[in-house]
Chain A
Amino acid sequence: MELRVENLTVARGGVPVLEGLDFTLSPGQVLILRGPNGSGKTTLLRTLAGLQPPLTGSVSADPEQITYGAHADGLKATLSVEENLRFWASVHGISDIAPAVDGFNLRGLLERPSANLSAGQKRRLGLARLLVTGRPIWLLDEPTVSLDVASVALFADAVRAHVAGGGSALIATHIDLGLQAETLDVGPFKADVNRRRGDTHRDAYADFDEAFS
């Protein structure tokens, strides 16, 4: 299952942040999304995940093939680790959570209420959710936040195994994960807001400046 993006413009709060995006994410490929804070990486991922409509352009992928890993892990504090994981597994029609538990080293935490987990442990549980969705395209938004070095390695292993099985991943991150991956820098696609507003505004500014010169 291929994710093809054509001439995509994404907007946040009605203001375009990225425009003219063209790329393809093929099975077996990892694409790292780079860009400074506020450059629109999250907005792009949310658009691709189908949570918000694009301003222009098209995303050709079945939303049923995509899973989105957001900043928030979507954990319920009063449920145990196992209950949280089992819930997402049964939502996606999967009954076996053992690979996810072992993949992110959660075996010793299964009975613990997620309110008592550390930030890194919560993140590991949030990432383990990806493995119980059974979906081929992963869209991940800064997945390594609050993870220690060992857990980052666990995560990189999980991505490698996923890609080896014919999956693909688009990962917005600021660190080097040590993965065989291509990089997509969103910098060149930054939307020019002034141009979009049209010239009337800039003329008004010019008049304003002239009046006070």
Chain B
Amino acid sequence: MIALLVRDLRLAMRAGGGFGLGLAFFLIVSTLVPFGVGPEAAILSRIAPGILWVGALLACLLSLDRIFQLDFEDGSLDLLATAPIPMEGIVAVKALAHWLVTGLPLTLAAPVLGTLMNLESPGHYWIFITLLIGTPALSMIGAFGAALTVGLKRGGLLLSLLVLPLYIPTLIFGAEAATRGTADLSASTPLLMMAGITAGSIALLPFAAAAALRVNLR
């Protein structure tokens, strides 16, 4: 399983691997929003947590179809399915690799990019915490969607339609926690709800995704 993680990370770093794709998209969104909304600092700092969250979510969505599609096309997925790793483990490792390549860089970049939107001082801390807890759920739910659509050519549109509704609870609680934290209100309720979604996805979705993969390999 560690070998699979190392291979996926190495592939992501090599040419055409898609590392930085989500990050670049996130950077573009957070740079463009102040131009679109206008330079009014009060408005920007009010919408900053929400914009950062929506940007991170869309950036995450961008690279989802790569999780299983490439391995499916070159036959690796067949061979992995017969390898001595349980399918659930393959899904979990691939979701982890996706998070390390997409979710973690987004989380680290968000506080810096928040400055572009005049995010006020405790906000940097809150956007970091909420993304750190929330993005693993985005990768895991995304891996489930990718497993469902793995056999389809150009399944990206269907994948987005399947996954976006499932992302909404994470987005609502994540953005709410970040907004409340930034305004110095108690954020523990939305934060705990989001943590619950993340824990639940990590516990349950590898099994669902593995079942979907087995069906798609037939």
Q: How far is the CA of A64 from the CA of B84 in the complex (A)?
A: 6
- B75 lies within 8 A of A73 (CB): yes
Q: How far is the CA of A76 from the CA of B70 in the complex (A)?
A: 9
A75 at the interface (CB under 8 A from B): yes
- A63 lies within 8 A of B82 (CB): yes
Return the 8 tightest CB-CB contacts between A and B, nearest first: A72-B75, A90-B3, A78-B14, A74-B76, A52-B218, A74-B75, A74-B79, A87-B7
Per the CB 8 Å criterion, the residue count for chain B at the interface is 24
CB distance from A64 to the nearest CB of B (A): 6
CB distance from A1 to the nearest CB of B (A): 15
* Residues of B with C-beta under 8 A to A68: 78-79, 82
- B78 lies within 8 A of A74 (CB): yes
Q: Which residues, 29 to 72 on B, are CB-close (under 8 Å) to A?
A: 71
B132 at the interface (CB under 8 A from A): no
- Chain B contact surface mostly: helix
Q: How far is the CA of A53 from the CA of B218 in the complex (A)?
A: 8
- Where the two chains meet, the residues of A that have a C-beta atom closer than 8 Å to any C-beta of B are 46, 49-53, 63-64, 66-68, 70-79, 83, 87-88, 90-93, 129, 133
- A51 lies within 8 A of B218 (CB): yes
- Chain A contact surface mostly: loop
B200 at the interface (CB under 8 A from A): no
- B82 lies within 8 A of A51 (CB): yes
Q: How far is the CA of A180 from the CA of B81 in the complex (A)?
A: 31
Which residue from A49, A76, A83, A87 sits with its C-beta under 8 Å from B82?
A: A49
* Residues of B with C-beta under 8 A to A72: 74-75, 78
